[in-house]
């Protein structure tokens, strides 16, 4: 959809969106801002390897109706094979609408789940995609954690494969000293129409709070997915964000993490498995603006067929942020000569007492390792499987929550035989 | 019975001829030592026996148990009882030692039409063998050779050999880089496998291993061919006098 077509869609049906005259004006301002920026693409530095300008030719529907019985049925069937990972509250969205009957609310005095509206969220429509999110945002979820949450909060986004383009928002706010784990997953009923999910996630971590955010993306091959995670961390707050990407058509996943309080810590690690003609782009920006802050980035991609993986990890250390420890790693395993990897580390360092490191590798399976395994009686195909699994495991074994780790491992293991050509 | 018959073997690595007409016959139950100066082709021979695919066989044949070994993939050779203890064991991060040993053992058992090894029996077996090689229990949970010292890697190779009980074991300089205690461990591991049905080829630079594992035959490999064979006294002579005299003798002959 071109910018003009998006504007037309808003003019025609924008009145159906919830909110007051004030919010409507807010949407319109965001639309103007989006109009100025346009769909992001190569001309923007941060989008060097991923271009959404092709979206101009596609017909996305920003006004997914409230799911009817048939849609709810297919969503319920899909959910039946995606059992809850833990015993906490489960929130389910279908085509962008929260469906309470498919969710499961558990009482936990330290967690409050509120509806998310435009009025309730802070605005930061700096980028085209977050502006677009504001224009069509219908709902989302706001999770407030005031103590130590008893079990992870699970958020499941289900698509029914009908070419919708829901604009969704999550806000997770941790009070000082609070602790929580959130598990976000994306699943779809296989569909013929190309869809697009655009999600903005705001994470606010109070002093000495700790948030673990897990993300498991197993979209259908017809789904485009753009996600922006913006986090701000106060003094001694700790964020662990682990993401596993296995599905989708074009996927862009951004993490913008501001370490604003001293001794705040962010660990972002991820694993992507791309196949066919998938395109998966992960961008991580960590902004150290306070002293004695720590960051870790560790991202691995297994890139098969004619797919493409992009990694752009950026570390900014502000002038007065001394005693910083920032490390970044990106390792890529190419399983096909047609696969492509683009990796780009970036560092902007304005302080002088900084420990900073980065490393990136792009390679195929190691022939010496393959031969060694074969001399132990393991056939060539299994040896390839073992080494590919081992490559993925380096990330997976760092996932602390056992249920999520095993779910993620299964998602990768199930996809591997076909990925390495032994299925 | 001849377990292994190598005839007129010619091997080229990256376009350079390394083995140039090597002949070797190993009978069941024998231990052969292959000695020779650096670059003589000892490691190439070991790797070719294990099935390394980027080494080109330009002439000759290798028969193992009467069959054409060169027609077998590395994994088939392993399942048929050929084992190579690597000179430089490969590190495989993310692949657990226990997992590798179990996968290797089961691959062999499946090939023989046997059921997979029982988990309890497997643990008992591996713990017994670890005791023989004096390998600590935490080894079970570590990645294959990752972060191992040189000596640990060599002991791990022998541990794998003890677990897999090969019919033809090729040890490629398993003794180099070992201190006296580690050398004794490796030697006792190797000796524990000596059996009338099992043959071994010890590729080595040093005579000291051959004092602990007494070979039936000692060969000198130089210039890509076996130029002299004898018994343990030949190994002692090589240790005392070096290789020059053998090379001269071979040249003269």
- Spatial neighbors of A230 by CB under 8 A, at least 6 apart, are A124, A200, A201, A202, A203, A256, A257, A258
Angle A109-A111-A112 (CA atoms, 0-180°, nearest 5)?
105
Confidence label for A280 from pLDDT (cuts 50, 70 and 90)? very high
Classify residue A371 by its DSSP letter.
Answer: H
DSSP code string of A170-196: EEEEE-TT-EEEEEEEEEE---SB-EE
Within 10 angstroms of residue A235's Cβ, the number of other Cβ atoms is 19
Contact at CB, B100 and A376, closer than 8 angstroms = yes
- Spatial neighbors of A371 by CB under 8 A, at least 6 apart, are B50, B51, B52, B53, B74, B90
Rg (CA), chain A: 21
Question: What's the rounded mean pLDDT across residues A365-391?
Answer: 95
Tokens coding B142: 């570590």
Question: What's the rounded mean pLDDT across residues B98-108?
Answer: 94
Contact at CB, B51 and A390, closer than 8 angstroms = no
Tell me which of B90, B112, B117 to substitute to probe the interface with A (most A C-beta atoms closer than 10 Å).
Answer: B90
pLDDT of residue A423: 43
pLDDT, one tens digit per residue, over B64-78 is 999 999 999 999 999
**Closest C-alpha among A287, A278, A180, A184 to residue A233:** A287
Largest CA distance in chain B: 60
pLDDT, one tens digit per residue, over A307-346 is 999 999 999 999 999 999 999 999 999 999 999 999 999 9
Say yes or no: domain B2-252 is CATH 3.40.50.300. yes
| Identity of the residue in B84, B93, B143 whose CB atom sits nearest the CB atom of A375 | B84
pLDDT of residue A123: 53
Task: Let me know: does A59 contact A1? Beta carbons within 8 Å.
Answer: yes
How many Å apart are CA A215 and CA A222, to the nearest integer?
19
Alpha-carbon gap: B162 to the closest alpha carbon of chain A (Å)? 13
Largest CA distance in chain A: 72
Query: By the CB < 8 Å criterion, does A386 face chain B?
Result: yes
How many Å apart are CA A358 and CA B231, to the nearest integer?
56
Q: Where in chain B are the domains? A: 2-252
pLDDT of residue B222: 94
Contact at CB, A373 and B100, closer than 8 angstroms = yes
How many Å apart are CA A263 and CA A235, to the nearest integer?
6
Tell me which of A370, A373, A376, A385 to substitute to probe the interface with B (most B C-beta atoms closer than 10 Å).
Answer: A376
Contact at CB, A382 and B103, closer than 8 angstroms = yes
Contact at CB, A372 and B89, closer than 8 angstroms = yes
Query: By the CB < 8 Å criterion, does A15 face chain B?
Result: no
- Which residues in B lie closer than 8 A to residue A382 (C-beta atoms)? 103
Alpha-carbon gap: B182 to the closest alpha carbon of chain A (Å)? 23
How many Å apart are CA A415 and CA A394, to the nearest integer?
17
Task: Give, rounded to a whole angstrom, the gap between the first and last alpha carbons of chain A.
Answer: 37
- Spatial neighbors of B15 by CB under 8 A, at least 6 apart, are none
**In A, residues 109-148, which contact B (CB 8 Å cutoff)?**
none
Query: By the CB < 8 Å criterion, does A57 face chain B?
Result: no
Tokens coding B1: 């019975």
Within 10 angstroms of residue B218's Cβ, the number of other Cβ atoms is 25
Question: What's the rounded mean pLDDT across residues B94-104?
Answer: 93
Task: Give, rounded to a whole angstrom, the gap between the first and last alpha carbons of chain B.
Answer: 30
**In A, residues 347-366, which contact B (CB 8 Å cutoff)?**
366
pLDDT at A125 over 70: no
pLDDT, one tens digit per residue, over B167-183 is 999 999 999 889 999 99
Scanning chain B, the segments in alpha helix (DSSP H) are 42-50, 74-79, 97-111, 119-132, 150-164, 180-192, 208-212, 232-241, 244-252
Phi, psi of A221 (to 5 degrees): -65, -15
pLDDT, one tens digit per residue, over B45-66 is 999 999 999 999 999 999 999 9
Phi, psi of A22 (to 5 degrees): -65, -45
Share of chain A above pLDDT 70, in %: 97
Task: Let me know: does A315 contact A347? Beta carbons within 8 Å.
Answer: yes
This complex has an ipTM of: 0.97
Contact at CB, B90 and A374, closer than 8 angstroms = no
Question: What's the rounded mean pLDDT across residues A266-288?
Answer: 97
Query: By the CB < 8 Å criterion, does A371 face chain B?
Result: yes
Classify residue A5 by its DSSP letter.
Answer: H
Q: Looking at A113-122, A383-392, B232-241, which range is the least confident one?
A: A113-122
CA of A377: which chain B residue's CA is closest? B75
Alpha-carbon gap: B204 to the closest alpha carbon of chain A (Å)? 20
pTM of the model: 0.91
Tokens coding B169: 């074991």
Alpha-carbon gap: A326 to the closest alpha carbon of chain B (Å)? 24
Contact at CB, A372 and B86, closer than 8 angstroms = yes
Assign A127 to helix, strand or coil: coil
Are β-strands A265-274 and A238-245 bridged in parallel, bridged antiparallel, or unpaired?
A: parallel
Contact at CB, B78 and A375, closer than 8 angstroms = yes
Contact at CB, B90 and A376, closer than 8 angstroms = no
């Amino acid at each position: 959809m071109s910018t003009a077509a998006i504007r037309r869609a808003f003019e025609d049906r924008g009145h159906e969106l919830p909110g007051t005259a004030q919010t409507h004006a807010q949407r319109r301002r965001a639309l103007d801002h989006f109009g100025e920026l346009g769909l992001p693409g190569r001309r923007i530095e941060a989008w060097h390897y991923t271009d959404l300008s092709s979206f101009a030719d596609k017909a996305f529907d920003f006004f997914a109706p409230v799911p009817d019985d048939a849609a709810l049925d297919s969503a319920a069937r899909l959910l039946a094979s995606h059992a809850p990972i833990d015993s906490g509250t489960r929130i389910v969205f279908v085509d962008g609408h929260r469906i309470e009957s498919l969710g499961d609310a558990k009482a936990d005095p330290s967690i409050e789940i509120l509806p998310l509206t435009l009025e309730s969220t802070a605005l930061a429509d700096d980028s085209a995609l977050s502006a677009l999110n504001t224009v069509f945002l219908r709902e989302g979820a706001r999770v407030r954690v005031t103590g130590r949450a008893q079990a992870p909060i699970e958020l499941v986004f289900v698509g029914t494969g009908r070419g919708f383009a829901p604009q969704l928002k999550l806000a997770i706010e941790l009070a000082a000293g609070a602790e929580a784990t959130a598990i976000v997953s994306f699943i779809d009923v296989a569909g013929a129409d190309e869809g697009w999910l655009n999600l903005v996630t705001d994470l606010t971590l109070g002093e000495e709070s700790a948030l673990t955010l897990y993300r498991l993306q197993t979209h259908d091959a017809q789904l485009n997915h753009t996600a922006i995670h913006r986090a701000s961390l106060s003094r001694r707050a700790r964020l662990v964000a682990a993401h596993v990407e296995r599905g989708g058509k074009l996927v862009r996943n951004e993490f913008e993490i501001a370490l604003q309080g001293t001794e705040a810590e962010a660990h972002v690690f991820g694993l992507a498995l791309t196949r066919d003609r998938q395109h998966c782009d992960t961008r991580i920006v960590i902004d150290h603006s306070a002293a004695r802050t720590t960051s870790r980035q560790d991202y691995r991609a297994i890139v098969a067929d004619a797919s493409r993986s992009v990694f752009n990890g950026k570390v900014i250390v502000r002038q007065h942020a001394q005693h910083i420890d920032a490390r970044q790693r990106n390792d890529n395993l190419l399983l096909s000569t047609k696969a492509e990897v683009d990796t780009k580390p970036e560092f902007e360092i304005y302080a002088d007492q900084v420990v900073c490191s980065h490393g990136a590798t792009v390679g195929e399976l190691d022939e010496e390792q393959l031969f060694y395994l074969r001399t132990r009686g393991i056939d060539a195909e299994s040896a390839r499987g073992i080494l590919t699994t081992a490559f993925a495991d380096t990330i997976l074994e760092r996932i602390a929550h056992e249920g999520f780790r095993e779910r993620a491992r299964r998602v990768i293991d199930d996809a591997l035989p076909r990925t390495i050509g032994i299925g | 019975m001849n377990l292994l018959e190598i005839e007129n073997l010619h091997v080229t690595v990256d376009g350079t001829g390394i083995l140039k007409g090597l002949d070797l016959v190993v009978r069941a139950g024998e231990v052969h030592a292959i000695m020779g100066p650096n670059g003589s082709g000892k490691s190439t021979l070991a790797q070719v026996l294990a099935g390394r695919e980027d080494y080109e066989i330009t002439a000759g044949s290798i028969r193992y148990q009467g069959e054409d070994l060169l027609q077998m993939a590395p994994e088939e050779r392993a399942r048929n009882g050929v084992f190579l203890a690597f000179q430089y064991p490969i590190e495989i991060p993310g692949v657990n030692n226990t997992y590798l040993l179990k996968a290797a053992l089961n691959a062999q058992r499946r090939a023989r039409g046997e059921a997979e090894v029982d988990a309890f029996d497997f643990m008992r077996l591996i713990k017994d063998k670890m005791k023989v090689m004096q390998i600590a229990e935490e080894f079970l949970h570590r990645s294959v050779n990752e972060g191992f010292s040189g000596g640990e890697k060599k002991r791990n190779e022998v541990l794998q050999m003890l677990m897999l009980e090969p019919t033809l074991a090729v040890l490629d300089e398993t003794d180099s880089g070992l201190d006296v205690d580690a050398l004794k461990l490796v030697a006792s591991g190797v000796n524990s496998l000596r059996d009338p049905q099992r043959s071994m080829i010890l590729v080595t630079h040093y005579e000291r291993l051959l004092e602990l594992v007494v070979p039936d035959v000692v060969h000198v490999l130089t210039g890509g061919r076996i130029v002299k064979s004898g018994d343990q006294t030949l190994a002692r002579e090589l240790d005392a006098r070096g290789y020059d005299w053998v090379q001269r003798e071979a040249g003269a002959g």
